[in-house]
């Protein structure tokens, strides 16, 4: 791994005020990068920046709602204009979506696609021309384990994350000879506030962080190690989730059974109004 991969580099991280985005931002700063913390709330992003004040003027802020194309474009182009370049874009902002299919409205589908998929399209659409012009750059999109293995009761979320994984992998090959790199992070359960939020303010089952969730700080360190190795699909934590993914792709009876059992358990939990983990 290149230990200088992030030193002095200009990075934008969306959803930087919370969870994985905050942890990745802090880890980038520890590794010497200049980090634009991007978020939709001035108050939240300033609070995150204040916690990182030890890193001085390498901590910068950007206000952008990732569902608004003009705001994403302005934030990314403004950063490149201010600094003269853009080395990394982490399209991390996102929302969860574990919900029984019958209870999801079309508005739920639209909202999750806006936040998890259009945001990434807007980011990539703006950043690629900048990176092509400078002949280098690395775009890191956040997918999910639900973008490579389909968890029952996550059809809305999984739709968006399979889209992010597919797009990122296509672009990785398409731009390989142009000096651009693409990675897609596929986290399993990472301990962040995402588990406490529900869908559009509505709770399905008991909202709580799973007991076995992986710490966000460790996830961030693993992610940046793998990104520096130019890995495409980055599964975090790597095991047992890589085995799960491979077993699903191979259609192994064990993994089929795991998914069927998960569906059974989650349906029962939802019917009782309890937890689905």
List of residues contacting ligand NAP (CB under 6 A): 14-15, 17-21, 39-41, 44, 65-67, 92-95, 115, 142, 144, 187, 189-190, 192-194, 197
Residue 130 main-chain phi, psi, to 5 deg: -65, -45
Q: How far is the CB of 4 from ligand NAP (least distance, A)?
A: 27
Q: Between 44 and 85, whose beta carbon lies closer to ligand NAP?
A: 44
Cross-strand pairs, 142:
185
Q: Between 4 and 70, whose beta carbon lies closer to ligand NAP?
A: 70
Q: How far is the CB of 154 from ligand NAP (least distance, A)?
A: 10
Residue of 6, 157, 214, 276 marked active site: 157
Distance CA 237, CA 214 (A): 7
Q: How far is the CB of 204 from ligand NAP (least distance, A)?
A: 16
Q: Between 15 and 137, whose beta carbon lies closer to ligand NAP?
A: 15
What is residue 150's three-state secondary structure?
A: coil
Q: Between 10 and 223, whose beta carbon lies closer to ligand NAP?
A: 223
Q: How far is the CB of 194 from ligand NAP (least distance, A)?
A: 3
- What is the per-residue DSSP string for the chain? --TTTTTT-EEEEETTTSHHHHHHHHHHHHTT-EEEEEES-HHHHHHHHHHTGGGGGGEEEEE--TT-HHHHHHHHHHHHHHHS---EEEE---------GGG--HHHHHHHHIIIIIHHHHHHHHHHHHHHHHT-EEEEEE--GGGTS--TT-HHHHHHHHHHHHHHHHHHHHTGGGTEEEEEEEE-SEESGGGGSTBTTB--S-----TTPEEHHHHHHHHHHHHHTT-SEEEESHHHHHHHHHHHHTT-HHHHHHHHHHHHHHHHHHHHT----
Q: How far is the CB of 38 from ligand NAP (least distance, A)?
A: 7
Q: Between 202 and 272, whose beta carbon lies closer to ligand NAP?
A: 202
157 noted as active-site residue: yes
User: What are the catalytic residues?
Assistant: 157
């Amino acid at each position: 791994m290149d230990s200088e991969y992030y030193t002095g580099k200009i990075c934008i991280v969306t959803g930087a005020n919370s969870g994985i985005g905050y942890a990745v931002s802090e880890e980038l700063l520890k590794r010497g990068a200049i980090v634009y913390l991007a978020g939709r709330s001035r108050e939240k992003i300033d609070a995150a920046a204040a916690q990182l004040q030890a890193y001085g003027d390498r901590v910068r802020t950007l206000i952008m709602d990732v569902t608004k194309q003009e705001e994403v474009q302005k934030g990314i182009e403004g950063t490149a204009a201010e600094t003269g370049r853009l080395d990394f874009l982490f399209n991390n902002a996102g929302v969860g979506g574990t919900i029984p299919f019958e209870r999801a409205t079309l508005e739920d589908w639209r909202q999750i696609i806006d936040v998890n998929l259009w945001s990434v399209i807007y980011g990539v659409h703006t950043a690629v021309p900048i990176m092509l012009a400078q002949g280098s750059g690395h775009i890191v999109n956040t997918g999910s384990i639900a973008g490579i293995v389909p968890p029952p009761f996550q059809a809305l979320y999984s739709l968006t994350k399979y889209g992010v994984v597919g797009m990122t992998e296509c672009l990785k090959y398409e731009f390989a000879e142009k000096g651009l790199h693409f990675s897609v992070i596929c986290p399993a359960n990472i301990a962040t506030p995402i588990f406490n939020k529900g869908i559009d303010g509505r709770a399905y089952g008991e909202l709580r962080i799973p007991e076995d969730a992986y710490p966000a700080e460790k996830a961030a360190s693993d992610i940046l190690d793998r990104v520096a190795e130019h890995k495409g699909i980055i599964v975090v934590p790597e095991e047992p989730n890589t085995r799960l993914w491979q077993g699903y792709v191979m259609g192994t009876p064990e993994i089929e059974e795991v998914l069927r059992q998960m569906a059974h358990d989650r349906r029962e939990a939802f019917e009782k109004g309890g937890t689905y983990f």
